[in-house]
Amino acid sequence: MTFPARLDEGYRAFLGDRFVRERARFERVAARQRPEVMVIGCCDSRVSPEVIFDAHPGEIFVARNVANLVPPYETAGLYHGASAAVEFAVRGLQVKHIVVLGHARCGGIQAFARGATPLASGDFIGNWLSLIAPAAERVAPGIEGRERLHRLELATVELSLSNLMTFPWVRALVEQGGLKLHGAHFGVGDGVLLVRDTASGEFRRLVG
């Protein structure tokens, strides 16, 4: 058996410690999950929503993809993993909050900004990252380097929030007050969480 050693070790540690401490919780959520929050994050290995928000099993419904993108609502294509996750969370689980979580030093954002190969010419990534184009248009010209990437990371979060509102059942619930949308950005190196103010659109540090 060639199961990755790190996962083997991690599971054994989990089974002997956390699972023992939280067994009652696991038994409860095994019957039914009812999270109030959905987090749409990046699949970057450094940005785990469950770790960042110190979440217990069953508390957060997480969907992750390259660059934490939500595509606009459309039904013409065949494969809609991100859209299906949103539909299940909103219509199936009836979550009360959706958080789009961007992060610093996002490889997908960097690949789009630099037209990096081989990612930009891959079978899937280049097409997926083309969704970022409207966000790039929101970043003021003349800003370059790390600051441009940071602003593009924030603009991509805002784009995903805007795209969520193109889903008719999301918009209806938001307008009725039954669903709230939030934007956030996590600093991988410094742990700083920026949260988007819904009134001003500004991203502000949550703590400190």
Q: What is the pLDDT of residues 117-127, one digit of tens each?
A: 666 667 788 88
User: Are 70 and 170 in contact, with CB atoms under 8 Å apart?
Assistant: no
pLDDT tens figures, 19-77? 999 999 999 999 999 999 999 999 999 999 999 999 999 999 999 999 999 999 999 88
Based on the domain organization, do 157 and 118 belong to the same domain?
Answer: yes
DSSP three-state, residue 61:
strand
Q: Which distant-in-sequence residues (6+ apart) come within 8 Å of 16 by Cβ?
A: none
Instruction: Measure the CA–CA gap between 66 and 42, rounded to whole angstroms.
Output: 5
Based on the domain organization, do 126 and 179 belong to the same domain?
Answer: yes
Query: What's residue 44's pLDDT?
Result: 97
User: Are 205 and 192 in contact, with CB atoms under 8 Å apart?
Assistant: yes
pLDDT band for position 5 (cuts 50, 70, 90): very high
- Residues with a catalytic annotation lie at 42, 44, 46, 103, 106
Q: Indicate which CATH number applies to the domain containing 38.
A: 3.40.1050.10
State the average pLDDT for the chain: 94
Query: What's residue 132's pLDDT?
Result: 96
**What is the domain extent for residue 107?**
34-205
